[in-house]
Chains A and B, each alone.
Chain A
Amino acid sequence: MARGKLYFKHEDCKGCALCVEFCPQKILALDKENINPKGYNLIKVLEPERCIACAFCAIMCPDSVITVERVPA
C-alpha cells in the first residue's frame, strides 16, 4: 500500500474543507484551534501514517494548497 506525505501552503487555505470531505481515509480535519492570517481554520492530518497518496484532497482543493509526496512504504 503506497504511503503519502502531505505539505500544506496554509496561508493560501480558505478552510473550505473539500479535502476533508473527499479523503477516502478520513484522516483530514479542520483544525479548530489554529487559523491562518486570513482567519480561516487550517487543515490538520489526524493520522499521517494512514495517508495513501491518492491525492484526492489535492485534486479537490481549489487553491492548490496541498502538495502530495509518495514515500516508500
Chain B
Amino acid sequence: MDQVMTFKYIFPSKRVINKILFQLDTPLTSKYLLPLYEDVFLGRRPSRKVSGDVYYMMSEVLRKVKDRNRYEPMELAKLRKDLLFLSSLNGCNDGIAKLCYDIIKEDNESTDNKTKSKDLLLQLVKHGHLLSFKLVGDIYFYKTQEFDEAKRWYSKFVENYKDRIFDNEVLGNAAENLGIISFHDGDFELAERIFLKVIKMVPKAQCVRSIFYLSQIYIKYDPLKSKILLESCCSEGFKESFKEIGYLEMRYFENFERAMDWFKIGMESFDIECFFGYFDCSYRLQKFEQASHCYKSMLKLSNASTNYKNLFDLFVNNRRSEIKQLMTM
C-alpha cells in the first residue's frame, strides 16, 4: 500500500504524459500506459502481453520527463532502468543497444558484463541497427575520447538517418557532437553549418552546446551576434557561458555594471574566472568594498584545487598594485 502511494506521489500527471506522448508521435495512449507503469513499479506481472517496443517507449517517456524537470527521483530512475531491461528482454533492439551502452559507460560494472555488452552492440552494428551507430559514436566521444572514430560513427548515423524516423533529439545530439569535433579540428565553416542546422531542428534546451559553440565562432568577428547567443545560453543556465559573456561585456562592450551581474551569477557556481572578472569590474567601478570581499572569497576558493591555485597566483601577479591598494584601505 505504501508503494502505491509513493507511485501516485512521484509519478508525473496524466496531462504531462499525454503531452510527451504527443511529442513522441506515438499511437500509444496514457490510458493504456499508466496501469503498465504501475505494474512495473510495484513489480507485478502485467495483465496483458506487452511488446519490447512499448516498454522502450515507456522508458523514453520517463527520460523526457527527466529532461523537462532537470531532476529525477531515485524511484523513477529505477523504474526507467527496469523498463529498459524489460524492453531488451522482449527483443527491442533499441532497448538492447541502450542497455549495453549504459553498462559500457558505467565504471562500476564488471568486465564480464562489459564484454558481453560490447559483443551485443557489435552484433547490432553488424545487423545495421541505426541507433547502435550513434551509441558507438557516443562511447568514443564521451568515454574514450577518440574523436576520429566518433566522427566516423556519427557520420554513418547522420547519413543513414533518412531510412528511419527518429526522434529529432537523437539526431540533433549526434549532429551536435559532430559539429563539436569539427570545431576542435579547426573546420569552423562546417561546424557553423552543423550548429545552425541543430538549432533549427531541436528545442533550445537540448541544443545549448550548439548555441555556445556558435557564439565562440562569432566572438572574433561579430561580437554582437555572439553576445545574443551567449545570453540565450545563460537563460538555459549553461555554466560556461557566464564568464564568457561577462568578459565580453567588460572588455568589448565596456558595460561594467552588466558584466558584474553576469559574473555574480557565475560566482554562484564557484567558477574562479568569474571571481577575477567580478574583482576587475568592481575595482573599475570603484566599489572597493565588494572588490575586497571578492578577493577574500578567492583566497578561500584557491585552496580547492591546484588548477585554481595556479590561476589565482597568475591573477595576483598581474594585479599587485590593485590588491595592495585594497589592503591599505
Co-assembled chains A and B? no
Interfacial residues, chain B to chain A (CB-CB below 8 A): none
Which of A's residues lie within 8 Å of B, judged by CB?
Answer: none
